[in-house]
Structure 1
Amino acid sequence: MLETINLASIPAFLLVLVRVTAFFVTLPLFSYRNVPAQHKLGFGFFLALLMFFTIDVPIVLPNGTYILLLLKEALVGLMIGLIAYIILAAIQIAGGFIDFQMGFAIANVIDPQTGAQSPLIGQYLYTFALLFLLAVNGHHLMLDGVFYSYELIPMQAWLPLSDGNFADFVIQAFNQMFIIAFLMAVPVVGCLFLVDVALGIVARTVPQLNVFVVGLPLKILVAFIVLFLSIGIFMMLIENLFETMLATMRGLMQLFGGA
């Protein structure tokens, strides 16, 4: 009898496993490429095992729609993790704005999460943001989002992707991302704009001075001073960014669940 129950629960466990592991493919901090794939799979398996015995999982029998349910669970995990990464990418966009004004746009580093090149200052601020995320136990809140997603998105429900609210929600998420990136970059970019204006005035009044030689080191010095002085503002904006990220994840879950 026990073997029959275990065999009957395997399809439902696979649905839980697919959603949890899909979360870890795109979820910030958990999807880093320098984390071995074996660790991600093992952590996802044991987390799915704990969730399977904790949440109320209905008995799912394999039929013609079971493959579609597997694809739906994978899509839920990928989309919610991706929307969280999109919100957190505001830090690197702000760093790109700062790098462009500093003259660091040509010096990029490899992002360990995507494997692509990212701005130097953006990766610097992103590292601070991840450390701050760990310090305030933000990774626990993201795992809570994975756990409570089953309350908002039932396992046997279908996603309303044809609804226009989904496109509006994604557009609003992009809007929030760019607003926060702009607010993070304004202190440094604004000061560097004033430095450009001052160098332009000096170039007109003192033609003997080569502003191209003086301007680049001066802008780098001013940018680092402003970054040092405004690091507290950055932390406040990063905290607001985390709140926006968690609220966006929950909003997308409610939208998928039809709430």
Structure 2
Amino acid sequence: METFNVPLQPILVFLVVLARIGGLVTFAPFWAHRSISFNVRVVIAGVLSLTLTPFLLPRLQNIPADIFPLTLILLGELLIGLLLGFVGRIIFLGFEMGAHFLGAQMGFALAGVIDPNTNAQTTTFGILAQMLSIIVLLAANGHHWFLIAAVKSYETTAPGSFSLSPQLVDMLVRMSADALIVGVSLAAPAIIVLVVVEFGLEFFGRTAPQFQVFILGFPLKIGIGLWIVGASLYFIPTAFRDVLSTLYVGLDRVLGSI
């Protein structure tokens, strides 16, 4: 009776690729959106890993079959995928944060909604910015950039060689700070105008107490805020171009740091 021998190395390579792609699909924008169920994400990660394994098999050799070193390698691969996804999420979070700041200043925070993607309270402007950023990401094929970065990462970081260096931590902290700066800078013009309107309403309320400033303030701030948003639509493509450029550069910087 002939024995059926299954080569072990392709299976190990598949597991390594699955760990890195699985971490990416778990955290990256669009791929990790709540509208895509966990089961669908597992299937996507499996199909992508099966597709990439034959191409990566010549590069990935001598993967240990022992359970302890293999587990450490898989954990490192999972962290690399999560790291690549985190870069994309933190960059788009800056744009969503700016929209949230604007909505809160306009008064929409009093009618907050639950973000289905994060289960956190946000404003309608935050939800709108999140949906718009996903649409722009898909239109620019930005979701493919994460897969390309995951494949290119094997050229810079072999399985089992990942280490969380101080340079990488410093870069992630700087990117988080830059995301906050992007959010504040996008919403700053509207916030400044609305703060001036708020001071004007306070002054008007002091000089004419008979007027219901609290009631008049809500429609006034919402109207002015919507007018500013409409006037800023001309600059939205430039803002998204900068965000996508930052995403591309951020992925490239991470590949050079891991």
Deviation at 1:113, TM superposition (A): 2.4
Q: Which range moves more in the overlay, 14-23 or 99-108?
A: 99-108
State the partner residue of 2:12.
11
Instruction: Provide the rounded CA distance (Å) in 2 between the counterparts of 1:130 and 1:78.
Output: 19
Partner residue in 2 for 1:98:
102
Match of 2:162 in 1: 158
**Alignment deviations for residues 134-167 of structure 1 (CA, whole Å, 9 cap, x no partner):** 11211122221222121222123131x2x32122
Matched, 1:143 2:147: yes
What residue in structure 2 maps to residue 239 of structure 1?
241
Partner of 1:57: 60
- Give TM-score, length-normalised by structure 1: 0.90
Alpha-carbon distance in 2 for matches of 1:173, 1:113: 22
TM-score normalised by structure 2 residue count: 0.90
Once the 2 structures are TM-superposed, how far is the Cα of residue 183 of structure 1 from its aligned partner? 1.4
Q: How far off is 1:96 after superposition?
A: 2.3
Structure 2 match to 1:111: 115
Aligned residue among 204, 222, 226 for 2:228: 226
AA aligned to 1:183 is: S
Please list every run of 5 or more consecutive structure 1 residues that lacks an aligned counterpart in the other structure: none
Residue pair 2:29, 2:89 contacting (<8 A) in 1 also: yes
Q: CA deviation at 1:255?
A: 0.9
Aligned residue runs from structure 1 range 58-207, under 5 A: 58-63=61-66, 64-159=68-163, 161=164, 163-207=165-209
**Separation in structure 2 between the aligned mates of residue 156 and residue 224 of structure 1, nearest angstrom:** 52
Spell out, residue by residue over 1:91-117, the C-alpha distance to the aligned partner (whole angstroms, 9 max, x if none): 221122112211111222232322333
Give, as a single letter, the amino acid of the residue that structure 2 aligns with 1:166.
L
Relative to structure 1, is the Cα distance of residues 46 and 59 closer, same or farther in structure 2, using a 3 angstrom cutoff?
Answer: farther
Does the aligned pair in 2 maintain the 1:87–1:241 contact within 8 Å? yes
Q: Contact (CA 8 Å) 1:92, 1:126: kept in 2 or not? A: yes
| Bigger mean CA deviation after superposition, 69-78 or 184-193 | 184-193
1:43 aligns with 2:44: yes
The alpha-carbon deviation at position 4 of structure 1 amounts to 4.4
The runs of at least 4 consecutive aligned structure 1 residues that moved more than 4 Å come to none
AA matched with 1:250: D
Deviations 1:180-217 (A, max 9, x none): 10111112212212212332343344343222121111
Q: Which amino acid aligns with 2:8?
A: L
Secondary structure of the residue that 2:175 maps to in structure 1? helix
Distance 2:214 2:31 in 1: 44
Tell me if the contact between 1:92 and 1:118 (Cα under 8 Å) persists in the aligned partners. Answer: no
* Change beyond 3 A, Cα 1:114–1:135: same
Matches within 5 A, 1:24-35: 24-35=25-36
